[in-house]
């Protein structure tokens, strides 16, 4: 590896918001009009996602996936917010083209991030993958505008809508019941109760026959 390679692989001038950070605020033009993120989707969760480019095949399948499953996001009190580094005219043309071809309508705002402002703010522009197109990012943002989960996918691999919905429901269920979610958790499965912090809690746990106990530190319950 020469010095140029090393520079290319380590340089990162973009902000990368992390889990637990408040979502950076911004104003943007979208297919549903102008938004200020701090005023967007009050008291709701937001799933904000980027795609590399309009009128491209993988992106068309992904956006159609968000559109056809929008009612499931609605049921989870969640607004969808798309983004790419394309103009509003390209967005409108693509939305209309997909509607004409397939009947699927992208009925959620898509940010026209032509100046890359939001992409850079959210670390969606990852220059060693592409200098001009956003990677496939997904930000799960709670009603307090805190980032709770982040996914980044490269240009050549589409995301999994089942996993996006599963992760969203897992976050919400974890918050509601103050529990953690095991491998592959899905709605209806048992959840993990937090480990005991005192000997009294440990003894209570050992005597609780309603729990499925693998060991004192790993116990599951129904909710």
Q: Which is nearer to ligand BEZ, 148 or 159 (CB)?
A: 159
CA distance 31 to 42: 19
Q: Which is nearer to ligand BEZ, 51 or 148 (CB)?
A: 51
Mark whether 59 is an active-site residue. yes
Backbone conformation region of residue 188, classed left if phi is above 0, alpha if psi is from -120 to 50, else beta: left
Rounded to the nearest whole angstrom, what is the least distance from the CB of residue 175 to ligand BEZ in the complex? 33
- The site string for ligand BEZ over 65-104 (x = CB under 6 A, - otherwise) reads ----------------------------------------
CA distance 90 to 113: 11
CA distance 139 to 146: 10
CA distance 149 to 103: 31
Given 53, 76, 150, 211, the residue binding ligand BEZ (CB under 6 A): 53
The DSSP call for residue 44 is S
Q: Give the bridge partners for 35, in sequence order.
A: 28
Given 48, 59, 134, 141, the residue binding ligand BEZ (CB under 6 A): 59
Rounded to the nearest whole angstrom, what is the least distance from the CB of residue 9 to ligand BEZ in the complex? 21
CB contact set of 86 (below 8 Å; sequence gap of 6+): 53, 54, 94, 112, 113, 114
Q: How far is CA 145 from the centre of its chain?
A: 13
Q: Which is nearer to ligand BEZ, 53 or 202 (CB)?
A: 53
CB contact set of 206 (below 8 Å; sequence gap of 6+): 213, 216
Rounded to the nearest whole angstrom, what is the least distance from the CB of residue 40 to ligand BEZ in the complex? 25
Given 33, 57, 103, 188, the residue binding ligand BEZ (CB under 6 A): 57
Given 14, 31, 56, 160, the residue binding ligand BEZ (CB under 6 A): 56
Per annotation, catalytic residue among 28, 41, 46, 59: 59
CA distance 31 to 36: 14
Please enumerate, by residue number, every residue annotated as part of a binding site for substrate. 136
Which alpha helices (H) appear in 70-222, and where do they start and end?
A: 70-75, 88-102, 117-121, 161-177, 199-207
Given 29, 35, 58, 149, the residue binding ligand BEZ (CB under 6 A): 58
- The site string for ligand BEZ over 160-199 (x = CB under 6 A, - otherwise) reads ----------------------------------------
Asked if residue 52 binds ligand BEZ (CB under 6 A), the reply is yes
| Active site residue ranges | 59
Which spans of this chain sit near ligand BEZ (rule: CB under 6 A)? 52-53, 56-59, 133, 155-156
């Amino acid at each position: 590896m020469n010095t140029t390679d090393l520079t290319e692989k380590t340089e990162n001038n973009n902000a990368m918001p992390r889990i637990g950070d408040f979502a950076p605020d911004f104003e943007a033009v979208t297919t549903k009009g102008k938004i200020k993120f701090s005023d967007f989707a009050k008291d709701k969760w937001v799933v904000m996602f980027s795609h590399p480019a309009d009128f491209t095949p993988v992106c068309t399948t992904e956006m159609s996936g968000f559109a056809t499953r929008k009612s499931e996001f609605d049921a989870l009190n969640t607004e969808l917010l798309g983004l790419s580094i394309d103009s509003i005219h390209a967005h409108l043309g693509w939305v209309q083209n997909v509607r004409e071809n397939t009947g699927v309508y992208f009925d959620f705002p898509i940010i026209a991030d032509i100046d890359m402002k939001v992409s850079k703010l959210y670390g969606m522009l990852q220059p060693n993958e592409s200098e001009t197109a956003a990677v496939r990012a997904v930000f799960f943002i709670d009603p307090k505008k805190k980032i709770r989960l982040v996914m980044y996918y490269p240009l050549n691999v589409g995301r999994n809508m089942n996993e996006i919905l599963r992760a969203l429901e897992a976050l919400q269920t974890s918050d509601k019941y103050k529990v953690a979610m095991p491998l592959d958790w899905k709605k209806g499965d048992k959840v993990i109760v937090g480990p005991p912090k005192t000997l009294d809690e440990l003894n209570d746990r050992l005597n609780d026959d309603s729990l499925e106990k693998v060991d004192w530190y790993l116990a599951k319950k129904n909710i």
